[in-house]
Structure 1
Amino acid sequence: MALFKRNPFGHILFVKKWLIRILGVLTHQRFRGFNELQIEGSEIIKNLPENNVLFISNHQTYFADVIAMFHVFNASLSNRNDSIKNVGYLWKPKLNIYYIAAKETMKAGLLPKIMAYVGSISIERTWRSEGKDVNRQVKMSDISSIGKALDDGWVITFPQGTTTPFKPIRKGTAFIIKKYKPVVVPIVIDGFRRSFDKKGLRVKKKNIFQSMEIKAPLEIDYENESVESIIEKIEYAIEQHPSFLKVIPRKELEEKERLNKEFRDW
């Protein structure tokens, strides 16, 4: 029956649709009310293929970043240019949007489990577990899950694997790009760290400038380009290359460090 149609991960699409609608209504004011999200480049979204698209972005909170992207993507597909005005765009949401998240994060409480049903591809981090540094092999089943999601639709990933700015890009993202050859769309966000708590669930401050810039897809030679070259392109595209540190005012760097310390102590 169409009512119980499932996606490749076994999630019932009817249930997923209603979860997106409800979460969208509950979170809309966080980006257009308490704060005003400034969007640039959302017209790019409308011209993307139905599947095999990988969004790469810097990361500032666990959940608010992804929630904002769900809003912006669906608004753009409903012909709203650089705007999420009128939450009616969520009545017919795109159901094949996924995002990569740490498995331990998505098991920590009821809300993360609901968020996981909405579209999480939960993976085991190879470098961090339960607050401790680890060093373990990539699980091939995790790579296969990402490939399955790309085959079905769009995938959001945060290639630094952390909310701390200017950390190195994880090589796994470059390997995924070379293996599955997706359209790679960079996104740069700002203001979420100042607006929300670390998880991105509680509004910490109001009237904070939030921004999301969606850039043109990267040009990548999937066959011949090296992993290192792809990583460097990602660093520049999401504005996390070390060279950007040289042009950021000292006061802004000090504020970023203060906020990062606040996050670590949370």
Structure 2
Amino acid sequence: MGLFKRNPFGHILWVKKWLIRILGALTHRRFRGFNELQIEGSEIIKNLPDNNVLFISNHQTYFADVIAMFHVFNASLSNRDDSIKNIGYLWNPKLNVYYVAAKETMKSGLLPKVLAYVGSISIERTWRSQGKDVNRQVKMSDISSIGKALDDGWVITFPQGTTTPFKPIRKGTAHIIKRYKPIVIPIVIDGFRRSFDKKGLRVKKKNIFQSFEIKAPLEIDYENESIDSIVEKIEYAIEQHPSFLKVIPQDVLEENERLNKELRDM
């Protein structure tokens, strides 16, 4: 690797590599120590191509969700079977992994800016800004940035655009799928909202069951399938379709609502 070799977004790769190594070492015990991350489906990661892969997931914290994915992806590529034991996998991390995040979130302090350098595709949200509801047009430059990242590697996105559970899927994700035709891998996470604070930077509780399920690629007819059909597939795949509410115990729903209220009041 050349000393000043850069990715398509201008980030120097050796700097990104060291940031992933350091941040990975600092956060490893959050998923294997204070808590134990239960992983399922790591064999799917090993068989993916090097680029044009879109990961879709439910969302529980600003940063812990993505950090866990960096751990799981690199551990899986280093032939760990559903495990992040032994952080040697961080020595040679996959550098062409990106994640979609709100621009205002990634500019809100030094640490978010560092995390942005690791792989953020920062976009302007069309429905929310600085804690207020807005209604603005999608910026084509944001869509092009996601396409550029898919062309270079893997992209993580949270199609609900919020950490509140069972909110509607944003149709922009379906438009991206139809336009760029990536392999779409669903991920379902749980336990992060109970383990960490809102940003996912501080451990709030220990010994919380954390789960991380990687599912098989979605079957999508890119040419003929409607946007609404793709949105519905995403809802079911990341277990955020309203029908899932019927099978969640009432006490879990009440606890989630209490935690969401805490987050809104912060």
Q: TM-score, normalised by structure 1?
A: 0.99
2:130 equivalent to 1:130:
yes
In structure 2, the residue matched to 1:163 is 163
Whole-angstrom distance in 2 between the partners of 1:146 and 1:40: 27
Please name the residue that 2:120 is paired with.
Answer: 120
- Matching residue's letter, 1:230: I
Question: Identity, % of aligned pairs?
Answer: 89
Question: CA RMSD for the aligned pairs?
Answer: 0.6
- Aligned residue for 1:253? 253
Q: Please list the CA deviations of residues 70-113 of structure 1 after superposition, one character each: whole Å capped at 9, or x if unmatched.
A: 00000000000100000010000000000000000000000000
Give the match for residue 109 of structure 1. 109
Give the SS at the match of 2:164.
Answer: coil
Secondary structure of the residue aligned to 2:3 is helix
Deviation of 1:53 after TM superposition, in Å, equals 0.1
The answer for the alignment partner of 1:147 in structure 2 is 147
Amino acid corresponding to residue 261 of structure 1 in structure 2: K
Task: Write the distance in 1 (CA, Å) between the matches of 2:200 and 2:55.
Answer: 19
Is the counterpart of residue 220 in structure 1 residue 197 in structure 2?
no
Counterparts of 1:262 and 1:203 in 2: how far apart (Å)?
A: 16
Gaps of 5+ in 2: none
> Which string of whole-angstrom CA distances, capped at 9 and with x for unpartnered residues, describes residues 8-35 of structure 1?
0000000000000000000000000000
TM-fit CA distance, 1:249: 1.0
- Distance in 2 between residues matched to 1:161 and 1:148, nearest whole Å: 20
Superposition map of 1:10-159 within 5 A: 10-159=10-159
Amino acid in structure 2 at the alignment position of 1:11: H
SS at match of 1:26: helix
- Per the TM alignment, residue 229 of structure 1 is displaced from its structure 2 partner at its CA by 0.1
Aligned to 1:239: 239
Deviations 1:116-163 (A, max 9, x none): 000000000000000000000000000000000000000000000000
**How far is 1:3 from its partner?**
1.1
Q: Distance in 2 between matches of 1:253 and 1:85?
A: 32
1:9-65 deviation line (CA, Å, top 9, x unaligned): 000000000000000000000000000000000110000010000000000000000
CA distance in 1, matches of 2:251, 2:41: 28
In 2: Cα distance, 1:62 partner to 1:120 partner: 12
Structure 1 residue 232 displacement after superposition: 0.2
Alignment of 1:184-195 (within 5 A): 184-195=184-195
Mean CA deviation greater in 135-144 or 250-259: 250-259
Aligned to 2:265: 265
TM-score by length of 2: 0.99
Aligned residue for 1:3, secondary structure, equals: coil
Match for 2:170: what amino acid? R
CA-CA distance at 1:69 after TM superposition = 0.2
Q: Match for residue 177 of structure 1?
A: 177
In the alignment, residue 197 of structure 2 is paired with which amino acid? D
